[in-house]
Structure 1
Amino acid sequence: MADNSVEGLKARYGDRWRWLALATVVTGTMATVLSATVVNVALHDIMVEFGIRQGQVHWLATGFIAAMTATMLASSWLLDHFGVRKTLATAMFLFTLISLAGGFASSPGQLIAARIGQGAMAGLMQPMGMYLVFRIFPRNRRGQAMGIYGMGVILAPALGPVLGGFLVDQLSWRYVMFAPAPVTLVGVLMAWRFLPLPVSRPAPYPFDLPGLALLGFTIALSLDTLNRLQQADGQQAWLVAEVLLAIAILSLFIFRERRIRHPLVNIGLLRKPAFLYACLGAMALGLALFGSTYLTPLFVQTALGFTATEAGLLMLPAGIVLGMVFPLAGRLADKQSARKLVIFGIAVFALSAALFALSDLDLAFGWLALWAVLGRIGIGFMLPALSTGALNPLEAQELGAGSSTLNFMRQLGGAFGVNLVALTIEFGEHSAGMPTINAFHWAWWLVAVFVAVAAVPVWRMRG
């Protein structure tokens, strides 16, 4: 049996073992982020096949991100008890099975359930990469490693629509659900071969299942409230009740987390200013990443009449440029001020969203592709700098909780971002049951403003 201790991996692969381990978690990350975004180009076909409106179909994106947001906080406990190797391999295997089941869904409810299941497994997998980078790489190489890891986080949303568009136009939207399965199967084999066994484990401690349930209810109630606002007539009393209940459950969650010995969220980390402000920046990054990735293909297909393949190809130049930007951004994160890099990324992304908001029916494909490139450059500069700025000040024993919390905040921003975008579109002008270009313009302005406002807490981030 192969020795997967750190010493055994070094003996087999030399200094390359760190990069092989990083390639493994990048594979899992790309598969999960790909599945989060590849479905967006299929939304139009799914709406037509099942006869549902945008107000319902957005749950395919929101349900995934919400489930991902809630479960990723369990990763710290799983890492402590089972290690990154077992946890990641198991999550990728279950993700494969759920993806296959989703491809055979015969109703919107079954498809949404499969997307929620995918999101739950993705939430367990996402923090693993950041955790591994900060455990196995020295401090002066973390920015470079995060730049490469970040390529999986950002390239997948850029390349996912290209693959999704081809699958939808040439085969069926169902193959969009099947697409991540081969990647995660390969990831299972890589995890078993290249990931290290834990050097040491803390004494066993109980998992905060009540805390996870309270947090899950809070997120679900909040998102359901936003969804119900799309058809608020006659539901005012119910909406007020949901808001009050969500606030009460959130208060109970915070009360519990501050008093138990092993909380789901380490509230104490939020007392560190650099980490707190980085978390607020991560929420803006999530809103930018997932909100724009949901909005772009729906915008160009519904308002501009593009095919699914054309919508996917629109994002291809952005993916190529990101491949060049991310290593540079990672190296800069090792040498430059994290907050300055993040502010630069925010400014570039806000400019991209504003340009989309000003786009009309006559704008050429090339200009739209350029706006997408600008947006991804902005996100590319934000991610490595936010990660190093947030996690470098933490102690080694805090990295598991820190990485899961930072990822949680990014996904929470994404969940609310997609929902707010969908709400804005639904409130906008419609023609023959479909949103007009003006509705999408308002959604782009919303994204631009939210991301620009995030510059305020990020500027206060030090280190």
Structure 2
Amino acid sequence: MTTPPDTVAVDSADDKLDIGVFKIAGVVVLGAIMSILDVTVVTVAIPTFQHDFDTTYAIAAWSMTGYTLALATVIPLTGWAADRFGTKRLYMMALTFFVLGSVLCSTAWNIESLIGFRVLQGLGGGMLMPLGMTIMTHAAGPTRIGRVMAVLGIPMLLGPIAGPILGGWLIESFSWHWIFLINLPIGVIALILAFIVFPRDNPEPSQTFDFLGMLLASPGLAAFLYGVSSIPGEGTVKSAKVLIPAIIGLALLIGFVFHALRTEHPLIELRLFKNKSLRFAVMTMTLFAMAFFGSGLLLPSYLQQVRGESTLAAGLLIAPQGLGAMLTMPIAGRLVDKIGPGKIVLTGITVMSVGMAFLTQVKADTPYALLCGVLLVMGLGMGCTMMPTMTAAIQTLTHSEVARGSTLMNIVNQTAGSIGTATISVVLTTLLNRGATLGGKGVPVPPGAPDPSLANAAIGSRYNGQLAHLPRNLLDEGFDLAARAFAHTFVVALCILVATLIPAFFLPRAKSVVPAAADAPAVVH
């Protein structure tokens, strides 16, 4: 493949990060942090949407679901579109769609219009992360990719933590419109900088578009994720709302696998799994994403439901996790470029597992100082895990394979995260429903009304005035039972995290070998 005109071939002896790479990384992070924050920032606004638009919680939650499904629909198209139109043009187009969707969301006049505009926003946002990975990989080359991927890891790790904090502050200080309007100035700046900083495109639109693959992969992934994301709301996997879309989606995805292996240029290049490094990186990322996103659901819920903290306070208490990750990510990135990702990822998972083991003993009165210390330790491990694993998948790919590899890893991350969140939600809900009930403790329950568990009654007392007047000893017992349910659910997340050590053991433990010069990644100087 021809090297872009404003780049030069990789020189393995010259692996120092220069100002050009840092400029590209900065622009990519600007776009990535907006799209990732928007997944979580809307979470805290759902009750506000419910009130302002006079709708139910289930319908208001579609402002999140619609965005997520749009992401899932467009991600599979990114690899082909990047080859066809060029990464710079496609990135700017995706950013434009995202900013336009954000502005339209701020003008929504009812819940239906908001959901529609969120879908438009997601169509742009879904491409930003895989395109950002591709652009940065091309700019850095395999000998420097660990360090620049560490930069890209900042929004990926901080998004789930910073989103609720930012959303809560904007809604409390201004209005819900500003959780979308804040993207306008940032997006415009990112667009201008992308036009100036990103290298010129040199697309090679020789491959035909895999239309059948699109009809199988995009709706298949969206339907499967819709079914999986419906599990927490339904409380069971046996619901038709879960089973029907999940089975249809799975059938379409299986059909795509058979199609992709027989097609010369499939929409998603599954033959990349022949690459041993990518294969084990995908397995590692699958398990890690399940544990990371699943446990990420537990922490704010525990702080708000069991400890009674506000959304803003809960976000601030979780902040040490992000701080720990920021401390180790640059170090891990540099070490990955020198000794390979294998040892770094194993160390990171081990450190995270030690921290999560403490969370399996969490109680209703666990000191916040201890919790923050544990989260700091987990953050130190996180910084050594997610992006080094991404690096392991990408660094051995050739220039022409990077866009498809980035797309594949983002699909894995999105799918595994949804499965992990749904799994942890079902486990937690099941455990909260167990144990003593109000009726069993002698509290009168109206005929025909459900008899809630003490744990659910205690949590409900945070929001329900009648439940708040229950005897103090019953509420204390209920909060203890609720904390125990969270602790036992952390055990499930810990088991998934420990299992991640198995595929991580096979990740490369040496400095990557630069691909042949004829197809080597381009490096910006």
Measured against the shorter chain, the TM-score band is 0.7 to 0.9
Q: Which runs of 5+ in 1 are unaligned?
A: 9-13
**Structure 2 residue 279 is matched with structure 1 residue 276:** yes
Q: 1:148 aligns with which of 151, 156, 159?
A: 151
Residue aligning to 2:367: 364
* Residue identity opposite 1:28 in structure 2: G
Distance of 2:115 and 2:425 partners within structure 1: 16
Cα contact 2:160–2:296 (8 A) shared by 1: yes
Shift of 1:21: 1.5
Cα contact 2:224–2:250 (8 A) shared by 1: no
Residue aligning to 1:334: 337
Change (3 A) 1:165 1:349: farther
Distance of 2:418 and 2:397 partners within structure 1: 27
Shift of 1:188: 0.8
Distance of 2:73 and 2:174 partners within structure 1: 33
* Residue identity opposite 2:503 in structure 1: P
Distance of 1:293 and 1:173 partners within structure 2: 24
Distance of 1:149 and 1:233 partners within structure 2: 36
Q: How does 1:139-178 map to 2 (within 5 A)?
A: 139-178=142-181
Cα contact 2:363–2:487 (8 A) shared by 1: no
Change (3 A) 1:244 1:214: same
Moved more, 451-460 or 284-293: 284-293
* Residue identity opposite 2:186 in structure 1: V
Q: How does 1:392-407 map to 2 (within 5 A)?
A: 392-407=395-410
Shift of 1:70: 3.6
Q: 1:455 aligns with which of 489, 497, 501?
A: 501
Deviations 1:374-419 (A, max 9, x none): 3322221112321222122222211111121112211221222233
* Residue identity opposite 1:450 in structure 2: I
Deviations 1:241-294 (A, max 9, x none): 555434432221111111222211111111222211101212233334433444
Residue aligning to 1:431: 457
Cα contact 2:327–2:380 (8 A) shared by 1: no
Residue aligning to 2:204: 202
* Residue identity opposite 1:459 in structure 2: F
Residue aligning to 1:11: none
Distance of 1:234 and 1:413 partners within structure 2: 17
Cα contact 2:76–2:218 (8 A) shared by 1: no
Change (3 A) 1:237 1:153: closer
Residue aligning to 2:213: 211
Distance of 1:344 and 1:350 partners within structure 2: 10
Deviations 1:394-453 (A, max 9, x none): 222111111211122112212222333333344433338859445544543332222222
Residue aligning to 1:6: 6
Q: How does 1:102-251 map to 2 (within 5 A)?
A: 102-105=105-108, 108-198=111-201, 200-226=202-228, 227=230, 230-231=233-234, 242=245, 244-251=247-254
Distance of 2:42 and 2:237 partners within structure 1: 33
The two structures have a TM-score, normalised by structure 1, of 0.86
Change (3 A) 1:135 1:353: same
Q: 1:390 aligns with which of 385, 389, 393?
A: 393
Secondary structure, aligned partner of 1:260: coil
Moved more, 395-404 or 412-421: 412-421
Cα contact 1:66–1:415 (8 A) shared by 2: no
Change (3 A) 1:118 1:377: farther
Cα contact 1:65–1:415 (8 A) shared by 2: no
Deviations 1:54-83 (A, max 9, x none): x77665555544432342222222221222
Deviations 1:287-314 (A, max 9, x none): 3443344443233222221112212212
Secondary structure, aligned partner of 1:315: helix
Cα contact 2:79–2:268 (8 A) shared by 1: no
Distance of 1:400 and 1:155 partners within structure 2: 24
Moved more, 425-434 or 90-99: 425-434
Quick one: percent identity of the two aligned structures? 25
Q: Which runs of 5+ in 2 are unaligned?
A: 9-16, 434-455, 463-481, 510-525
* Residue identity opposite 2:6 in structure 1: V
Q: Which has the larger radius of gyration?
A: 2
Moved more, 159-168 or 306-315: 159-168
Shift of 1:365: 2.8
Change (3 A) 1:335 1:294: same
Q: How does 1:52-63 map to 2 (within 5 A)?
A: 52=56, 60-61=63-64, 63=66
C-alpha RMSD over aligned residues = 3.2
**Structure 2 residue 349 is matched with structure 1 residue 346:** yes
Change (3 A) 1:120 1:384: same
The two structures have a TM-score, normalised by structure 2, of 0.77
* Residue identity opposite 1:217 in structure 2: P
Structure (1 or 2) with the greater helix fraction:
1
Shift of 1:233: 8.3
* Residue identity opposite 2:301 in structure 1: L
Cα contact 2:97–2:123 (8 A) shared by 1: no
Moved more, 221-230 or 189-198: 221-230
Change (3 A) 1:178 1:352: farther
Secondary structure, aligned partner of 2:123: helix
Secondary structure, aligned partner of 2:396: coil
Change (3 A) 1:291 1:52: farther
Cα contact 1:127–1:407 (8 A) shared by 2: yes
Distance of 1:419 and 1:107 partners within structure 2: 28
Distance of 1:325 and 1:204 partners within structure 2: 42
Change (3 A) 1:285 1:108: farther
Q: How does 1:289-304 map to 2 (within 5 A)?
A: 289-304=292-307
